[in-house]
Amino acid sequence: MTSPLTWQKAFETLRQTLDEDRPSLNVLDAGGASPFQILIATMLSLRTKDEVTLKASRALFAKASTPQAMLTLSEEEIAQTIFPAGFYKTKAGHIREISQILVDSYQGTVPSEKATLLALPGVGPKTANLVLGLAFGVQSICVDTHVHRIANRWGWVQTHEPEETEKALEALLPQEVWIEVNELLVQFGQTICGPASPHCQLCPLSDFCPRIGVLHHR
């Protein structure tokens, strides 16, 4: 019978065993990036592989790294630049709309309030929370497919939707680790705790994991 997996045990173990260069930061190229660049890169990352996101972000920011500069590009040019990012045509439209809103209403700066971010075209809770954490250091839990799956698999939450997982984790975890949740669990989910047949033999937490919902594992 497994011992309960506490968040302290999980975080301490993953901090020690996962690579220091965590994908969630590398994909967004967050080191030195502006809030605008982090916002746009986060949007590009939706339904898109990490390597494609990074390439598309760098290509786009080489042409326009501010809302003002982005408005000098046509929607078609933005789409061509970020291709083959998932839903690249829709994202191109949202990027240009957001740039116009930021210039018209916020002096070209990205707002640091969640409600305001959520009002921007194409921005959902995952994107808003990641921007708040990476761009402004605001403690927020970004729940993507990895965080949602693993939190349920560990028995920390019993939820059906990411929005429910976000609220449940906020009640469970202290604020000082909210930003780190996504950083740790994304890499863990990509490398070990995948959606189908996770690599439990390689997992440093296998002795503590209840494997809820896991039908097959390696």
SS (H, E, C) 163-179: HHHHHHHHHHCCHHHHH
DSSP single-letter state for residue 2: P
The residue from 89, 104, 144, 207 that is catalytic is 144
| CB distance 198 to 218 below 8 Å | yes
Q: Please check whether residue 10 is in contact with residue 180, taking contact to mean a CB–CB distance below 8 angstroms.
A: no
| Count of other CB atoms within 10 angstroms of residue 114 | 16
**Among 81, 118, 116, 112, which residue's Cα sits nearest to residue 96?**
81
Give the C-alpha separation, 8 to 27, whole Å: 26
114 is catalytic: no
Task: State how far the Cα of 154 lies from the Cα of 10, in Å rounded to an integer.
Answer: 10
Selected catalytic residue, list 19, 63, 126, 167: 126
**Tokens 């729940």 belong to residue:** 143
> At 172, phi and psi to the nearest 5?
-90, -40
Backbone Cα Rg of the chain: 18
Q: Which amino acid is at 174?
A: P
Helix spans in 88-124 (H): 88-105, 114-118
- Whether 104 is a known active-site residue: answer no
Which residues are marked as active site?
126, 144
